[in-house]
Amino acid sequence: MKKFDKNFLNLKLMLAKSLMHLGWKTYVSRLLWGLGLSLFAINPALAELSLEEINSIARQTTVLIAPGLTPEFIEELEANRSNPLASQSNPDGVWNPGSGVIIGRNQNTYYVLTVTHNFKQRYLESNIPHGIRTSDGKVYAISQVNDGRDCPLKDDISDRTLIRFGCYSVSIPTRVDGTDLAVISFESKSEYPIASLGSPENLGIGDRVYLSGWPDPEKIKDPTTGRCKGRVARRQRRLAWTPVTRKIAAETSEHGYNLFYFDLTRPGMSGGPVFDNNGFVIGVHGRGSADKGNLIREYCSLDLAQGNKLALESGDFESNDLERVVQAAVNYAPPLLYSQFSSGQSSNNFLSLWTNLNIDLLFNRQAPTREFINSALTAIAETDTSSGTLDVAVTDDITGSIDLQTEQDVVEDIYQGFTLKNLIRDEPSPGCEFLLLGDSCE
């Protein structure tokens, strides 16, 4: 570029910054568009959000996803639960609620980004309705979930209620075939915030990320009996924070999982958002460490996990330990990464897949607004943590997790909320909303 052209460009950028201070955002956008730039090119670095602010964003955008409980489904679930040998014939369990995050809207249609393994092939083929619980306690019925694409996937993706980039079936040796991502939509006249979609490109090793989702306490060992806890109706949303330990190319990953972090996740959090410290969704969580997964399948226990996992939750994990583990992870081959760490898929991986669909949907690429953050902002106390005791403040903890107690973060009876009689309504179209307590549709 000639010197004159560079000076001219710098002059325009200076003018744009001045106009931004005067509130002329629309004019600035047009000016920069003509230069092939965007507002992000002149905006200063965003301020890092607090734990409470991240939690406010997560609270409003994280959803709970589960199949509807038909009478036959309930019978199978209880039979599986009471059978001590059930895990041998059905190692994946019968009912596995998951998580998701609202990432788009087109009029009254909301789009939720999640993982495809939240949708078992046999339930899709039976067209079992699914429910999506939003932050206000409403659950939306999705009655048409069968996309007719089988597993492994056949036919091209079209604009359907459920869009799968991969599939999940017990007939697949690895359970998942393809990329473990999906988008499911629901209809509502209510107003729900849309999560800001960002990029992990500038995310460095050791940078903190936040994970939000709905753990399944039935996958945890009862300390008094040494067995699975059995039926647990009450659910609490979990917020966890951890440094990034590694990033790899999606092309060399397993089913798209290319973002690694310490294992503070639980079964049920799959599909939940991964936020950066500015409140942008930069990934989707979907896998706990393979070491933990093997123990869950064999013992239904999270208490026997590997040493660094125990150190994380006991509060004994110090900064020098963190540095040592992160440095070592740089040289780990993917199999070792998957065995030692939880993992998620980057938002860039999702966007590259979505772009090929030619579906008209605009994502929110702007930073979360102060009004949005303040609307659900609450304090986080040290007693909210799963351990109940800390030797440092929550905000200063290198890693941590909170099982939240506020009304928006608790489902008192998940079984009641997802029972079929509460899901299906005599309405002219699917997507009728209902409350967890079974209130009639409006």
C-alpha R_g of the chain:
22
One digit per residue, the tens of pLDDT, for the chain of length 442 reads 444 444 444 554 455 444 444 444 444 444 444 444 444 433 345 789 999 999 999 999 999 999 988 787 788 887 777 665 555 556 566 788 999 999 999 999 999 999 999 999 989 998 889 999 999 999 999 988 999 999 999 988 877 899 999 999 988 888 899 999 999 999 999 999 999 999 999 999 999 999 999 999 887 777 677 667 778 899 999 999 999 999 999 888 999 899 999 988 888 999 999 999 999 999 999 998 765 555 445 445 444 343 344 334 434 445 567 778 877 888 888 888 988 899 999 999 999 999 989 888 999 999 999 999 999 999 986 555 544 444 456 666 788 899 999 999 999 999 988 887 765 443 333 334 443 333 343 4
Tokens of 131: 């429910």
User: How long a stretch of residues is the chain?
Assistant: 442
Per-residue model confidence (pLDDT) at position 160: 83
Cβ-in-10-Å burial (0-12, 13-18, 19+) of 239 comes to: buried
Per-residue model confidence (pLDDT) at position 291: 57
Number of helices followed by number of strands (H, E) in the chain: 14, 17
Per-residue model confidence (pLDDT) at position 295: 45
Nearest to 194 by CA among 316, 328, 319, 100: 100
- The model's pLDDT over 285-326, given as tens digits with 9 standing for 90+, comes to 999 876 555 544 544 544 434 334 433 443 444 556 777 887
At 261, give phi and psi (nearest 5°).
-160, 170
Per-residue model confidence (pLDDT) at position 424: 42
Q: Please give the Cα distance from 425 to 442 (Å, whole number).
A: 11
Tokens of 313: 């939750």
Tokens of 138: 């409403």
**Could you write out the DSSP letters of every residue in 202-242?**
TPPTT-EEEEEE---GGGSB-TTTSSB------EE-EEEEE
Per-residue model confidence (pLDDT) at position 352: 94
**For 51-56+196-408, CATH number?**
2.40.10.10
Q: Please give the Cα distance from 90 to 124 (Å, whole number).
A: 18
Q: What is the pTM of this model?
A: 0.81
Q: Please give the Cα distance from 332 to 205 (Å, whole number).
A: 14
Q: Buried (b) or exposed (e) across 355-375, using 16+ Cβ within 10 A?
A: eeeeeeeebbeebbeeebbee
- The model's pLDDT over 41-67, given as tens digits with 9 standing for 90+, comes to 333 457 899 999 999 999 999 999 999
Residue partners of 331: CB distance under 8 A and separation at least 6: none
65, 160, 167, 178, 206 from 153: Cα distances, Å:
22, 15, 7, 8, 37
Per-residue model confidence (pLDDT) at position 420: 73
Would you kindly state where each structural domain of the chain is located, as residue ranges? 3-41, 51-56+196-408, 59-194+414-435
Nearest to 284 by CA among 117, 66, 49, 68: 117
| CB of 376 closer than 8 Å to CB of 59 | yes
| CB of 351 closer than 8 Å to CB of 303 | no
Per-residue model confidence (pLDDT) at position 20: 43
78, 94, 182 from 394: Cα distances, Å:
39, 36, 33
Per-residue model confidence (pLDDT) at position 86: 56
